[in-house]
Structure formats: C-alpha cells, structure tokens
C-alpha cells in the first residue's frame, strides 16, 4: 500500500455534525474541507438553513457510501404554525394566505393520524429536484411554477407532543425523500386553515443520533488529529452498515 492510499484511508470516515441554524449543508462541508484540508467531503441528506440537527458528513473514501446512507430513515422534531401559508412552506418564505384557526386539538390529532403510513407527497417548488434538467428552486426564483409528480413516502410515526394553537409540536419518523415542510402544509390544508413549518430539528439519520454529534464551534477549535479521533473510521463504518448497528 502506498503512502497516498494510507493517507486517504486515515482521512476516510463519518463525522456526525449538529448543524446550526442559518448554515447550509454545504457551509458545513466547506468548513470541514477547508479547516482540515481533506479533498473529498460530502453530506448525506440536505438540511435547509432554518433547520438544525444531525448532518452526516462523509470524508475521503467514505464519500462513496453517501448514497447508501442517504436512503435510510430519519427522525425530526418540529413545530407547525397553523393559519399561515407561505410560498416555501416554512417560515423563511413569503406569506401567501392566512386564515382563522377555528379547530380543536382533537382535529389536529385526527388529521395527524391520516398522515401516517404509505403516502404520496408532491415536492415543493423550492427544492433541489430537477424538472427537465432545471432545479425547481431556480425556476421558483424566476416566478415559474411547474407541475410536480407526487412521490411515494412512508411516515412510520407522527407523534403530537404539544398543541398550543396555532402551534403544534410534533415528532416524525419518516422515509428518505420526505419533505417535513410539505407535510406541515398538507396537514394545514386538510385542517382547513393552512399552515407551514416554523422550526425543524433532525435528531436521527440512518440510525445515528444527534446526541453523538459535534458542534461547529468544536470543529473550529480542533486540530486535525482531534477531528480524526471523533470521526467514525471507514472500516468501522462499513461493519456498522453491514450489521445494521449504526445506532449502537
């Protein structure tokens, strides 16, 4: 084995990062790439800037596992704001409609129960999905709205933790490809008052937990050896994926 291969393997693995609000997923990747001078860095599952929580960052040869890691289930905690619809389906977007929230907590729980299991979900216009080779969010910036094909998703569980109308705090365990902000918007429409996602935090992805992650402030304070000590090495990561023991 040559020195270059050894170096590549020593830099290869998975780093669990707690992404802060107002950072893009690419901001996190660029921070790690620049600070530790690792050529190949990627992430497994985008988090919008307003969202916080677990971002899986793969380094070196582990970047080849990003697609596999991206396809696994995720868990989020969030807050839905009823009575206000936005263009982006979250609090970052322009308000498009408002309505009185003339519903009961029982209505919320009834509708939440309807949004579990195998569902079809239409992706939002402000997303990275491509239509005829163009990303939807770029078309949206131009004021163009196109028809989107509904996609199959699975909501394994949707637990309502608190109802303080017009806000609802929830926890959702969902499949790859689920847009939680669209889930909030769809539930709001079903309730007859509209809604959007106010806050979102990812607490689990592919079996890995946010409690085991590091912060951006920690990353900025580390030398490379400290980062490598916190990283799950490629060999161990492969074993965990084969055994299905990511969460252990």
**135: Cα within 13 Å, side-chain hemisphere:** 6
**What per-residue confidence (pLDDT) applies to 144?**
59
Instruction: Quote the percentage of the chain above a pLDDT of 70.
Output: 85
Query: Could you read off the pLDDT of 112-126 as tens digits, one per residue?
Result: 999 999 999 988 766
Query: Which residues are annotated as catalytic?
Result: 48
Cβ-contact 44, 62 below 8 angstroms:
no
Instruction: Quote the percentage of the chain above a pLDDT of 90.
Output: 77
* 200, pLDDT greater than 70: yes
> Which fold does the domain 3-71+207-240 belong to in CATH?
Alpha-Beta Plaits (3.30.70)
Same fold, 3-71+207-240 and 74-204: no
Query: Could you read off the pLDDT of 145-181 as tens digits, one per residue?
Result: 666 788 999 999 999 999 999 999 999 999 999 999 9
Cβ-contact 181, 197 below 8 angstroms:
yes
Cβ-contact 215, 20 below 8 angstroms:
yes
What number of other Cβ atoms are within 10 A of residue 178's Cβ? 19
Domain spanning 74-204 has what CATH number?
3.30.2350.10
**What per-residue confidence (pLDDT) applies to 223?**
95
What number of other Cβ atoms are within 10 A of residue 172's Cβ? 22
Query: Could you read off the pLDDT of 40-84 as tens digits, one per residue?
Result: 999 998 899 999 999 999 999 999 999 999 989 999 999 999 999
| pLDDT band (50, 70, 90) for residue 243 | confident
Q: What is the C-alpha separation between 104 and 34, in angstroms, rounded?
A: 51
**What per-residue confidence (pLDDT) applies to 164?**
98
- Residue extents of the structural domains in the chain: 3-71+207-240, 74-204
pTM to 2 decimal places: 0.90
């Amino acid at each position: 084995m040559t020195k270059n291969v050894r170096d590549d393997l020593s830099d290869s693995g998975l780093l669990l990062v707690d992404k802060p609000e107002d950072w893009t997923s690419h901001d996190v990747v660029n921070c790690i790439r620049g600070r530790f001078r690792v050529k190949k860095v990627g992430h497994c599952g985008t988090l919008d800037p307003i969202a916080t929580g677990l971002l899986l960052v793969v380094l070196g040869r582990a970047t080849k596992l990003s697609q596999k890691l991206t396809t696994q289930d995720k868990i989020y905690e969030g807050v839905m704001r009823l009575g206000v619809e936005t263009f982006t389906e979250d609090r970052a977007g322009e308000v498009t409609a408002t309505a009185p929230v003339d519903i009961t907590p029982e209505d919320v729980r009834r509708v939440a129960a309807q949004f579990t299991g195998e569902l079809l979900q239409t992706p939002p216009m402000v997303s990275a999905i491509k239509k005829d080779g163009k990303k939807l969010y770029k078309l949206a910036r131009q004021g163009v709205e196109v028809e989107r094909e509904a996609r199959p998703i699975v909501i394994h569980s949707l637990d309502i933790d608190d109802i303080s109308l017009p806000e609802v705090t929830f926890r959702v365990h969902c499949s790859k490809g689920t847009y939680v902000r669209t889930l909030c918007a769809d539930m709001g429409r079903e309730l007859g008052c509209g809604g959007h996602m106010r806050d979102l935090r990812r607490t689990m992805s592919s079996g890995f937990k946010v409690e085991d992650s590091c912060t951006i402030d920690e990353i900025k304070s580390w030398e490379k050896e400290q980062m490598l000590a916190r990283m799950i090495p490629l060999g161990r990561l492969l074993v965990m994926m084969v055994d299905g023991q990511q969460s252990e």
